[in-house]
């Protein structure tokens, strides 16, 4: 069974990472989709420069387009799913604590709601 790349969906039905991506230029979207394809094809074996461990179960997809650096925070969920939690256009060397905390809140929410479905 292959791994799937899925978007976190909040209780309100919004998909913040999808909305973020769709707000980028067509060229940037193409580069982001290219890295998604690499994650899908190489799954757990994809490493630097595309993937970096952030904290705990949270990982970061690292995407460069032109002079912009994008980070998409995600985690590996049961059922062979990569759940995309939070996306940013990176302006600093390090991820901000609030971005990591938001990804953790979304991961906990996802896990809580998906376990209550069973």
User: Of all helices (H) and strands (E), which one includes residue 28?
Assistant: helix 26-42
**Chain segment 50-64, per-residue pLDDT in tens:** 999 999 999 999 999
CA distance 30 to 14: 22
Residues 44, 51 contacting (CB under 8 angstroms): no
CA distance 19 to 10: 12
- In the three-class reduction of DSSP (H, G, I as helix; E, B as strand; rest coil), residue 65 is classed as strand
Task: Tell whether the model's pLDDT for residue 114 goes beyond 90.
Answer: no
Percentage of the chain surpassing pLDDT 70?
A: 97
Give the predicted TM-score (pTM) of the model.
0.92
- Domains in the chain, please, with CATH? 4-116 (3.30.2310.20)
Residue with tokens 């995600």: 74
Task: Tell whether the model's pLDDT for residue 118 goes beyond 70.
Answer: no
**Chain segment 30-41, per-residue pLDDT in tens:** 999 999 999 888
């Amino acid at each position: 069974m292959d791994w799937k790349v899925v978007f976190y969906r909040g209780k309100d039905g919004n998909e913040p990472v999808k909305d973020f991506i769709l707000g980028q230029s067509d060229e940037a979207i193409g580069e982001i989709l290219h890295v998604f394809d690499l994650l899908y094809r190489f799954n757990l074996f994809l490493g630097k420069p595309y993937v970096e461990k952030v904290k705990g179960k949270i990982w970061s997809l690292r995407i460069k387009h032109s002079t912009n650096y994008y980070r998409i925070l995600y985690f590996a969920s049961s059922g062979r799913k990569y759940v995309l939690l939070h996306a940013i256009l990176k302006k600093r060397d390090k991820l901000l604590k609030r971005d990591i905390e938001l990804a953790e809140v979304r991961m906990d929410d996802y896990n809580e709601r998906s376990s209550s479905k069973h």
